[in-house]
Amino acid sequence: MDRIGRQITRTCRFIERQLGSPSGENWDNITPMRFFLRSLLLLKSGVVLLVRLLWTVARLLAGAHPLQTGKSGRGREPGGRTPVRVRRDWDDHRVGTVRWSDLGTPRWDMVSGGTQTRTPQPFVHGYVMCDKVRGDIAHSCIHGPAPHNIKVCIVEKDNSRQVWDYLMKIVGARLPRSHFDNR
């Protein structure tokens, strides 16, 4: 659409140059032509505006508009290589990184991995193969041959908004503590 608009603009300018300036002797004949050319440009602008409006409406109906997904990726699934920062326990200062595609079965839980300590509130936990974690987390592989699945804690403050928002779509709203009392 923009290519057509640029061509119309170039044609209008070419015709204006060929017909001369307002001080020329053919000025009486130029006025209707200029009116036509200006009307053509106005029509082109209206068509472009209408196409943009229809495209925006189509994207809104399809759920792909930035108002719904967010320009920073909110609501969109992170790619397989997107880094997710994990800890072994909710309050551990050692943080590692795994790829989104390596993280499995995220869910709310109140029992951490490793020492099986109870957390003061529900946190999102998931499973990952121990050799996929980059960084220093509380895991030594002394209880079995590597690689094996380990339970990790995913904390909101460690991760990007895109990762956390998509994680919340998967696990749902935080469950109350009473939900975990019978475990």
Average pLDDT, the chain: 78
Q: What is the pLDDT of residue 144?
A: 78
CA 130/CA 8 separation, integer angstroms: 63
pLDDT (tens digit per residue) in 84-106: 999 999 989 999 999 989 998 89
Task: For residue 135, list its beta bridge partners.
Answer: 96
pLDDT, greater one: 131 or 79: 131
Range with the largest mean pLDDT of 37-46, 57-66, 122-131, 137-146? 122-131
CA 47/CA 30 separation, integer angstroms: 26
Sequence letter at residue 69: T
Sequence letter at residue 160: S
Res 117 pLDDT > 90: no
Name, in order, each residue with C-beta under 8 angstroms of 175's C-beta and a sequence gap of 6 or more: 108, 122
pTM of the model: 0.56
- 180: tokens are 């975990």
**Residue 88, Cα to own-chain centre: how many angstroms?**
27
Q: Is residue 127 very low, low, confident or very high in pLDDT (cuts 50, 70, 90)?
A: very high
Q: What is the pLDDT of residue 154?
A: 94
Q: Is residue 177 very low, low, confident or very high in pLDDT (cuts 50, 70, 90)?
A: low
CA 135/CA 157 separation, integer angstroms: 17
